[in-house]
Amino acid sequence: MSVRAALPAVVGAPGGRASSAPLLGGDTEPTLFELSRPGRRAWQLPTTGVPALAIEDLVPAPYRRDAPPPLAEVSERDLVAHFTRLSHRQFSVDLGAYPLGSCTMKYNPKVCDAVAALPGLAAVHPAAPARLVQGWLALLVELEETLCAVTGMAAATLQPAAGAAGELTGLLMMRAWHQAQGRQRRTVVIPDSAHGTNPASVTLGGYETVTVPTDPSGGVDLAALRRVLDEDVAGIMLTNPNTLGLFERDIEAVAGAVHDVGGLLYYDGANLNAIMGVVRPGDMGFDIVHLNLHKTFATPHGGGGPGAGPLAVTAGLAPFLPGPRPVRTAGSPGNAPGSADSPGKAGDPGSVRYGWEQPERSIGRVHSWHGNALVLARALTYTLVHGADGLRQVAQLAVLNANWLRARLAGLFDVPFDRPCMHECVVSAAGLRREHGLRASDVAKALLDEGFHAPTVAFPLIVDDALMFEPTETESVQTLEALAQACERIVAEAGTPGGPERIGHAPVRTPVRRVDEARAARHLIPVADGVSETSSPPTG
């Protein structure tokens, strides 16, 4: 679908006709296109006296647009007011508790932002020669080493831009590793509780997914796993704790069985706040681990901003890592990034300690330059501020909070796997559905009216009407108590006359009420033919 197809029909309409929606106040904030009036613009600069050149003299005809782009024309004042109003009509980790399970939405310390904003980090060009960016290179190397220490791995790449990108990188490395051993494998095993990105990455990586069921205690069904393991299996992808928030107790047996058929173990470490500083994936027998710096290591996420999904591997897989990699060179002249084999100009050899290196059998780049660098700066800051003990405490508090909440909610909802959980807990709203016809999503909507972000609903798929809470380590016991009391009010209201009806219409206190979840995808608003030709571009 093109972007234009999604725009309202009033875009650049002749004569600047806008919709009749109120421009201010009320429940609806107009779009910029509805605020648009021909000729308005959001900047003001004095004329320079430099004569204007016609676009025809500057850009050859084949490269010119046939028509101006259909952009909104608004004044700076209206533009700022529009976005400021919108910024007040949302919910964020800085505003309140955000117990969204599986995707760790936690408060991120502002000191990390302050460091990432330092001009010495933020204003550096990624093509600067190594000898001029020794500090940046030191930061990258130190972060790699820190993540290796936390995961129990030998080497890492910081290039992947997100968890899913780390997964694909890991699978491509798995493939390259098998090929280097002269064998071709076809399948990757995934438990049925896995995060949706896992099977998607397997497909993108050119493998077929084989699913293994969860056993009654919430772990991988070991007997079922043994049945599917054969010489076709390239490896297994696991999250531990899994998406039920449960620790895989049989992990050593799983690792042994997979290694016995020559497969590799991939650890989905998106939510490392469950275990960091306490147990290392490397010690559990994993070969490849990705981490989500934008969940565990202080980069906010959820708004589509940049993330980072570094990948750490065992020594045997290190030669296949994406490159070039930042390395300690101790005294040798630095190389320009991306051209590890053609040395840049030698600086003072004694002062250069970091450079770039292409791993021997690298699968190649998976991101331009060096990944989302400022996310990496935030992550290193986070680890330095906490120290090893602090990181362990993060995990301990995350697990304590989730178990506190699990115990507190146990009387309100069904708890399908009633054993100590890790950083998140899964309850089921199936009881409310049977008695009052309400779904997990109704509880989630009602929580919005209570001032909380919704927990994850309907995931993991293997739990009937799941509600998945991840309180994270950053919330106080008072906040958790308030969340539990909000749940109590909702469940109590469900049992009152008219209660289910009211809950079914929640939320009523949010700027946007209950939305039709399918409409935006099913009913596209067409843009009238030729409309874009009539809008005039900003001049000057």
Q: Which residues bind ligand PLP (CB under 6 A)?
A: 102-103, 162-164, 195, 197, 239, 268, 270-271, 292, 307, 309
Taking the C-alpha atoms of residue 383 and residue 483, their distance in angstroms, rounded to an integer, is 29
| Closest separation in Å from C-beta 102 to ligand PLP | 4
For ligand PLP, which residue has the nearest CB? 163
Whose CA is closest to 380, among 139, 72, 107? 139
Whose Cβ is closer to ligand PLP: residue 103's or residue 251's?
Answer: 103
- Of 153 and 237, CB closest to ligand PLP: 237
Residue 44 makes CB contacts below 8 A (sequence gap 6+) with 76
Is residue 472 a contact partner of residue 401, using CB atoms and an 8 Å limit? yes
**Cis peptide before 119, with omega less than 30 degrees from 0?**
no
Would you call 260 exposed, middle or buried from its count of C-beta atoms within 10 A (0-12, 13-18, 19+)? exposed
Nearer Cβ to ligand PLP, position 35 or 150?
Answer: 150
**What single-letter DSSP state applies at residue 16?**
G
Closest CB to ligand PLP among residues 210, 293: 293
CB of 270 to ligand PLP, least distance (A): 3
Give the pairing of strands 456-457 and 466-469.
antiparallel
- Both tokens assigned to 56: 């025809």
Closest of 441, 449, 465, 467 to residue 511, by C-alpha: 449
Would you say 269 or 359 has its CB closer to ligand PLP? 269
Tokens 């809470």 found at:
469
Tell me the closest approach of the beta carbon of residue 309 to ligand PLP, in angstroms: 5
CB of 163 to ligand PLP, least distance (A): 2
| Minimal distance, residue 103 CB to ligand PLP, in Å | 5
Nearer to ligand PLP among residue 457 and residue 503 (C-beta): 457
Give min distance, CB of 141 to ligand PLP, in A.
Answer: 23
Map residue 392 onto helix, strand or coil: helix
Q: Which amino acid is at 22?
A: P
- Of the pair 151, 335, the CB lying nearest ligand PLP is at 151
Strand-pair category, 354-357 with 325-328:
antiparallel
Cβ closest to ligand PLP, residue 164 vs residue 318: 164
Q: Which is nearer to ligand PLP, 292 or 532 (CB)?
A: 292
3-class secondary-structure state, position 526 = coil
Helix (H), strand (E) at residue 137? helix 134-151
12 vs 166 by CB, closer to ligand PLP:
166
| Least distance (Å) between residue 459 CB and ligand PLP | 10
Task: Please state the closest distance from residue 167 (CB atom) to ligand PLP, in A.
Answer: 7
As measured in angstroms, the least distance from the Cβ of 218 to ligand PLP is: 15
Distance CA 299, CA 317 (A): 28
Residue 198 identity = N
Contact between 141 and 328 under an 8 Å Cβ cutoff? The reply is yes
CB of 92 to ligand PLP, least distance (A): 17
Instruction: For residues 146 and 441, give the distance between their C-alpha atoms in angstroms, rounded to a whole number.
Output: 39
380-407: b (≥16 Cβ within 10 Å) or e: bbbbeebeeeebbebbebbbebbbbbbe
